[in-house]
Structure 1
Amino acid sequence: MPANILVLFTGGTIGSRRGAYGIDVDTTGSYFLMEQYAQISGTPGYTFDTAQPCNLLSENLVPADWTLLARSIRDAFGQGYDGIVVTHGSDTLSFSAAMLSYLCCDAPIPVVLTAANYPLDDPRSNGLANFAAAADFIADAGLPGVFALFGDDRGESVVYLGTRITQALPFTDQFDAPYGAPFGYMRGGRFEPHPHPVNPAAGQLTRRAQAEPPALPASDDAWPPVLYIKPYPGLDYGVYDWPDDRAPRAVLHDTYHSGTANTREGAPDRSLAAFIAYCRKRRVPVYLVPMRNPAGDMYASSALLTAAGGLALEGISSEAALMKLLLGCACSADPDEVERFMRTPLFYEYMA
C-alpha cells in the first residue's frame, strides 16, 4: 500500500556514529538511515519527506525539546501525510512517547517513535529494521495516535501505545509494557494486535473521541520543577528540606510493586507518610504510583499513605504518570486543576 510519510530526526543512537570520543550524534547520521532504507530490495513504494527539529543524544533532552518536537508534529497534521516517524534516542524514548501522546492526543494519523540499540553502521544495530517496521505500521495499520516501535531480543518488532512503554532495562536494552502486554507486533509487514484485557482494540483507536490537547508550554521556563523519588530501604526524607523559593510544584513518588512504602512509626525522617505531611504544609502535592485499588488487596501501609494526603494513581506506569505531572504543572499553578488534569484520560494512559 503506498504511503506518504514524514520522518522527523532528533538524533539519538539511530542518528549517531562511532567517533574518536565514542558514540555521538553526527550531522549526516540521520540521513544515513534513509540511504540504508533505499538500498533494501523489494521495499514498498513509500515516499518520504524529512526534517530535523533537533539533533542530540536523548539523555541531553530538556522539556523545551518536547515543545519543539510536538509543534513539528502538529504542523504536519492536515498536510497530506499518512503518518510520521520520529527517530529518537532509546534512553528517554519512553518519556518522550508518553509526553507526545499527551501533547498530540488528537493526532489524526499514526505518529511512531523508534530508535536503535547500536549506531546504524554497527552490524548489530536494529535501527534500520525498526524504521522499516515503523513505516510498514503506518501503511498497514493507519491507526491514529502516538506509538513506539522497537525490536526485541527475539527478533520481534514490538508496537507499544505511546503511554504504555516502560524504560529500557540496563544490560539488555529491552523495553516492556505494563502487564507485559504491548499493543501488537509487525510481522511480515502487517500489524497484528496483541489481545489482552488491558489493551484497547485497534478499532477503539479509530473510533475514539478526539481528546482536547493541552496547550504547548511556550519555553523551557514554562516547565516548573517536579521532584521524582524512588523508594529504597533507608531513604532519609530529611535531605528534601527545601527553602520555599526552591520547592517543587509537585512530587511523584514511586511505591514498591505492592503499592507500599515506609510508614514506620517513630522514625519520621524515614517515613513517607511524614514526608507527605511535610509537603502538604507547603502546598506541594505528592502523587503515588503505582497504587492498588482500595477496594482490593491494599496493604495497611498504603492506606496510611493516602490517609496522610498522598494522591494515589491507579493503573498508570511511572513513566506516563511523571510526564503527565510535568505537563499538568506546566499548564496550571493550581493544584486542584493539576489533579483534575492527572485524572482525565488523554491517550490510554490508564489501564482498566
Structure 2
Amino acid sequence: MKKILLVFTGGTIGSAAANGTIRPSDNAPYKLLHLFQDQYGDAATIQFETLQPIQILSENLAPAAWKIIIEAIESAQPDKYDGIIVTHGTDTLAYTAAALSFYFGALALPVLLVSSDYPLDNPKANGLANFICAVEFIKQHLAVGVFVPYRNAGQAMQIHLGSRLTCSLQLSGDFYSVQGKSLMLFDGQHFTPVDTALIDSCKSTEQDCRNTAASDFNLLMPTFSSRILMVKPYPGLDYSHFNLTAVDAVLHDLYHSGTACSTGRWGEKHSLLAFITRCRDNKIPVYLAPAIQSENAYQSTRELIGQGAETVWDMSIEAAYVKLMLAYGNFTEPGKINNFLHGNIAFEHI
C-alpha cells in the first residue's frame, strides 16, 4: 500500500465548464478521484490523504499562494508519505514547479505537480493521464525531487524536472523542459529514461538530502520577495516607464541568443546599458537570464556584463525569477544571495 498526500489547489484540473465559462468547482477533486478509481487497475493499492489549502485559477496566483501550499504540505508531515501530488493550473505551472523545487530541495520524497489542458469532463483532457503517471511514478519510487508529468497533444507522456520546466508555448497547451530535454517518457506502464545522467543524480539525491539537512539552503523560510522586477525585452522597450522605488533587484529577460538592446542609437531610454547605470546609481543589482555560458558571446552581451549586470547562466527565466525571489526573501547579505543564486539546489543548471 502506497500512501500519497494529494494537495488540491484549483486550476483547470479543479474546474468545470458551464455556460461557456471555466471556473473552479468544488466537485472537480472528487471527479478526479472517481475517474482514477474507475480507470487505474491497482487503485486499491493506493491510499490518498487529501487537503485543499487554496482553490484558484493559476493565472490569479501570487507568490503568497506558494507559501500557503508549502505550509499546508509541511503541516501534513510529508515524511509520513511515499510521495506528494499537487494539482495545479497550467498558466503558472512552471513558476510553482520551480518554487517547490527550490524550497523542498532537501525533501527525500517525490513531489509531482499535475495539471490538465481541459476540464476533466472534456474527453480531450489529459488531466487523468497526467495524474495516473504521477501515481505510478511514486509507486515505482523512481527518484526524489519535484517533477511534472504532462502529455502534450499527440505525443508521449513526458516527465519534466520541476526546476527545468518552461511555460507553455504560445497559443498552445504544450509544455517542454529547457532545450526540449525532458527527464523521461511514460507509456502507461514503463518509464523510459531520456536524460540518464540527470535521473541518476535525482536518485542519489535521496541520501544527499539526509546528509545536508543542516545547510543554509535547507533551512529556508517560504518567503518570496515581492521586490523583484522582471523585465521582458521587445523592440522599443522604454525603460523610463519603470519606477524603481520598491525594487530590490531587477531580472532582465533576454532574447534567445542571450542578448538585449545595448545601443543608445534610438535614445538612452531604450538602452539597457543606460538602465543598468540607473539601477546601479540606486544600488539595485541587475541580473540577466536566460543565457548559455560559452566561450563566445555577442557584443551586446559583453557590453551589458561590462556595465555591471550579472548573468544567471544556464537556467530558465522561470527558475531564475523564482530563485531570486526566494533568495531575497531569505537573505540580506549579498554573499549569501549570490551563493544561493548560483548554487545547485534542484539541478536547475543545464
The reply to whether residue 299 of structure 1 matches residue 298 of structure 2 is: yes
Aligned to 1:168: 168
Aligned to 1:64: 64
Do the aligned partners of 1:224 and 1:329 also contact (CA within 8 Å) in 2?
no
Secondary structure class of the residue paired with 1:163: helix
Do the aligned partners of 1:252 and 1:286 also contact (CA within 8 Å) in 2?
yes
Aligned to 2:329: 330
Question: Amino acid of the residue matched to residue 306 of structure 2?
Answer: A
Q: Report how far residue 200 of structure 1 moved.
A: 5.5
TM-score where L is the length of structure 1: 0.91
Question: Amino acid of the residue matched to residue 92 of structure 2?
Answer: T
Q: Report how far residue 336 of structure 1 moved.
A: 4.2
Aligned to 1:154: 154
Aligned to 1:81: 81
- Cα distance in 2 for partners of 1:260, 1:223 equals 26
Aligned with 1:215 (options 220, 224, 237): 220
Name the structure with the higher helix share: 2
Secondary structure class of the residue paired with 1:112: strand
Question: Amino acid of the residue matched to residue 257 of structure 1?
Answer: H
- Cα distance in 2 for partners of 1:274, 1:65 equals 35
Do the aligned partners of 1:181 and 1:199 also contact (CA within 8 Å) in 2?
no
Aligned to 1:92: 92
Q: Report how far residue 91 of structure 1 moved.
A: 0.5
Identity within the alignment, %: 36
Secondary structure class of the residue paired with 2:147: strand
1:84-121 CA-to-partner distances (Å, cap 9, x unmatched) read 11000011110000001111111111000010000011
- Cα distance in 1 for partners of 2:4, 2:111 equals 10
The reply to whether residue 231 of structure 1 matches residue 250 of structure 2 is: no
Secondary structure class of the residue paired with 1:39: helix
Q: 1:137 to 1:207 in 2, by over 3 A?
A: same
Comparing 205-214 and 159-168, the one that deviates more: 205-214
Count of paired positions: 343
Aligned to 1:343: 342
1:210-230 CA-to-partner distances (Å, cap 9, x unmatched) read 463252246xxx733211111
Q: 1:199 to 1:46 in 2, by over 3 A?
A: closer
Comparing 303-312 and 32-41, the one that deviates more: 32-41
1:226-245 CA-to-partner distances (Å, cap 9, x unmatched) read 111111111111112x26xx
Q: Report how far residue 339 of structure 1 moved.
A: 2.4
- Cα distance in 2 for partners of 1:109, 1:290 equals 29
Q: 1:71 to 1:190 in 2, by over 3 A?
A: farther
- Cα distance in 1 for partners of 2:22, 2:277 equals 45
Question: Amino acid of the residue matched to residue 102 of structure 2?
Answer: Y
Question: Amino acid of the residue matched to residue 62 of structure 2?
Answer: V
Correspondence 1:192-207 to 2 at 5 A: 192-195=192-195, 201-207=201-207
Do the aligned partners of 1:84 and 1:112 also contact (CA within 8 Å) in 2?
yes
The reply to whether residue 7 of structure 1 matches residue 6 of structure 2 is: yes
- Cα distance in 1 for partners of 2:282, 2:78 equals 45
Do the aligned partners of 1:120 and 1:127 also contact (CA within 8 Å) in 2?
yes
TM-score where L is the length of structure 2: 0.92
Do the aligned partners of 1:109 and 1:142 also contact (CA within 8 Å) in 2?
no
Q: 1:139 to 1:199 in 2, by over 3 A?
A: closer
In the alignment, structure 2 segments of 5+ residues that lack a partner are none
1:60-90 CA-to-partner distances (Å, cap 9, x unmatched) read 1111111111122233445431101100001
Comparing 267-276 and 88-97, the one that deviates more: 267-276
Question: Amino acid of the residue matched to residue 111 of structure 2?
Answer: V
Aligned to 1:249: 248
Question: Amino acid of the residue matched to residue 297 of structure 2?
Answer: M
Aligned to 1:186: 186
Q: 1:76 to 1:183 in 2, by over 3 A?
A: farther
In the alignment, structure 1 segments of 5+ residues that lack a partner are none
Aligned to 1:106: 106
Aligned to 1:48: 48
- Cα distance in 2 for partners of 1:276, 1:197 equals 38
Secondary structure class of the residue paired with 1:342: helix
Q: Report how far residue 3 of structure 1 moved.
A: 1.5
Do the aligned partners of 1:261 and 1:272 also contact (CA within 8 Å) in 2?
yes
